Structure 1
Amino acid sequence: MTEMRAGARALPEITDRQTWQARIDELRVKEKAHTRAGDALAAERRRLPMVEVDPQTPLIGADGPVPLIDIFDGRSQLIAYFQMWYTGRPAAEQCEGCTFSTSHINELSYLHSRDVSYATFCAGPYEESSRYRDFMGWTVPWYSVPEESVDRLVADRHFGILVCYLRDGDKVFETYWTTGRGNEVMAPSYGLLDLTVYGRQEFWEDSPEGWPQHWNAAGGQFRLDGRPTAQWSRIKAGRNDDLGTAPDDQHQPRRH
């Protein structure tokens, strides 16, 4: 049941604290079951087989080509997010979903403490895409995936995937990958929004009648006034979003 006031947005039912807490206690039982179900899935995930990957697969970093195995930086595991890219396109036209996900990844010390490295593998050329990284102020290790390495790393998938690797001596294995809503683990903003009364405010959500819902799930939820939402704070701070891209008539979208 919702309570409506003239000229106001829809509101939840108002009740006393004791009744409110009782309802939360009922929900908490379901939340705990959801947490335990997630733990059980994680346990199953840890028991998956793995597939070998060429450890010498080249990527491009700040100093030129670097083999996949070196990106582990001496650690036994690596998580890589494969960022989409549109070569020759300006910053405002870059992938809003990948920008949303990568903007949340900053502090890597907790991963490192568990012997896990993290890196972004971008579909775009290093020089151009790294300018975008700098404009956004991202600090995660950044590499470009050259055409010769796309099939070896991406296989029959697409950029926008989150991949886990394991290093055993001089061998590298892929242990897990996900995409779509599986990438939401990168973005705590969504988890926090799910705790709020109005949620993500996206059209697909099951919300009471009258709840604000403004965005679709086809990219619009990550864009604001013609740009990926996170870019506006960088523009306001005076950062230059020039990627050194080609004129419009030379734009060639990169495979993604």
Structure 2
Amino acid sequence: MTDLPPVVDRAAFEAEVARLRTREKAHTREGDALAAQRRRLPMVEVPADTLLTGPDGPTTLLDAFEGRRQLILYYFMWHAGHPAAAQCEGCTWCSSQVRELSYLHSRDITYAIVAQGPYPESARYHEFMGWTMPWYAAAGEPLETLLTGRHVGMMHLISYVRDADRVFETWWTTRRGVEQVDNSYRLMDLTVFGRQEPHEDSPAGWPRTWPVDGHLLKTDGRPIPQWPRLAAGHSDDLGS
């Protein structure tokens, strides 16, 4: 039987929420301050003609802006030749969070994904998952150029801005930094049991059944979001 928090009356409950709210507001203000500092970072130029592969064949980093001033690219780890069930559960989790793009577009921002591998396989995965964001692929020298100084084969989230036909990188992150795109974990953090992961600071007796060991975002051997697609009759054949 899972333990639960102590039961109190409404007045005591609201008093504890009010104490927590002070810290929550400070956290929000610190997030605003970080965003302000992020807007003041310098930038570095990257080759605007760096080649990507898209649905219509070869294209460029500049083309990926789709005419907008800003671009956010998520770099999806790709295991070439592997079936859908063996593709990156972390990148699948991140990509499944980003659905509605119109708010980004209203601020002159394009959001897209670059798979780190061959286009045909990953494009089939994009279709299988029912994602609608723009999807590209890059490998070899173009990918190394885009990820200069960073580990190719790891998830990255990178922001760009363009000035006419020149492109500049303005910010990047990796590992847990990519939680910026997530809403599921943020919602879990609002619940009494949280993410249910063993590293969390939770009271004794709270469930901690999701070990961070490569299965954190999988159930029954697959990335979690694949199951509803299979149930809906989507084919996971990647042609590999």
TM-score category (smaller protein): over 0.9
**2:158 alignment counterpart:** 163
* SS of corresponding position for 2:97: coil
Query: What amino acid maps onto 1:201 in structure 2?
Result: Q
* Structure 1 residue 220: Cα displacement: 1.6
Gaps of 5+ in 2: none
The equivalent position to 2:225 in structure 1, one of 227, 230, 233, is: 230
Aligned mates of 1:184, 1:217 — CA distance in 2: 15
Match of residue 212, structure 1, among 201, 204, 207: 207
Aligned counterpart, 1:253: none
- The aligned residue for residue 100 of structure 2 is 107
Question: Displacement of 1:239 after TM fit?
Answer: 0.9
Paired with 1:55 and 1:133, the residues of 2 have a C-alpha distance of 25
In structure 1, list runs of 5 or more residues that go unmatched.
Answer: 1-7, 246-256
Say whether the 8 Å CA contact 1:166–1:172 is kept in structure 2.
yes
For residues 97 and 219 of structure 1, the distance between their equivalents in structure 2, rounded to whole angstroms, comes to 9
State the identity as a percent: 56
- Number of the residue aligned with 1:70: 63
Shift, 1:146, TM fit: 2.9
Matches within 5 A, 1:113-124: 113-124=106-117
2:173 to 171, 178, 190: 178
AA matched with 1:128: E
Per-residue deviation, 1:155 = 1.4
Q: Which aligned segments of 4 or more residues in structure 1 are displaced greater than 3 angstroms?
A: none
RMSD after superposition: 0.8
- Whether the 8 Å contact between 1:60 and 1:146 is mirrored in structure 2 is no
What's the counterpart of residue 10 of structure 2? Answer: 17
Which amino acid is the alignment partner of residue 110 of structure 2? S
Letter paired with 1:243: L
Q: Per-residue deviation at 1:36?
A: 0.4
1:79 to 52, 72, 93: 72
TM-score normalised by structure 2 residue count: 0.97
**Alignment-derived partner of residue 147 in structure 2:** 154
Q: Equivalents in 1 of 2:17, 2:120: separation in Å?
A: 51
Q: For residues 194-221 of structure 1, what are the alpha-carbon distances to aligned partners after superposition, in whole Å with 9 as ceiling and x for unaligned?
A: 0000000001000000000011223321
Between the aligned partners of 2:48 and 2:212, the Cα distance in structure 1 is 36
In 2, the alpha carbon distance for the partners of 1:183 and 1:196 equals 21
Aligned residue identity for 1:178 = T
- Give the total of aligned pairs: 238
Amino acid at match of 1:212: P
> Which amino acid in 2 is paired with 1:98?
C
CA contact (8 A) 1:122 1:143 kept: yes
* 3-state SS in 1 of match to 2:100: coil
Supply the distance in 2 between the matched residues of 1:138 and 1:44 (Cα, whole angstroms). 32
Which amino acid in the other structure matches residue 13 of structure 1? Answer: P
1:44 partner letter: Q
Aligned equivalents of 1:31, 1:217: Cα separation in 2 = 26
Verify: 1:44 aligned to 2:37, yes or no: yes
Match in the other structure for 2:126: 133
CA contact (8 A) 1:82 1:123 kept: yes
Distance in structure 2 (CA, Å) of the matches to 1:139 and 1:190: 22
Q: Using the alignment, how far apart are the partners of 2:61 and 2:51 within structure 1?
A: 6
Superposed CA offset, 1:167-226 (max 9, x none):
001100000001111111111000000000000000100000000001122332101010
User: Secondary structure, in 3 states, of the residue corresponding to 1:12?
Assistant: coil
Q: TM-score, normalised by structure 1?
A: 0.91
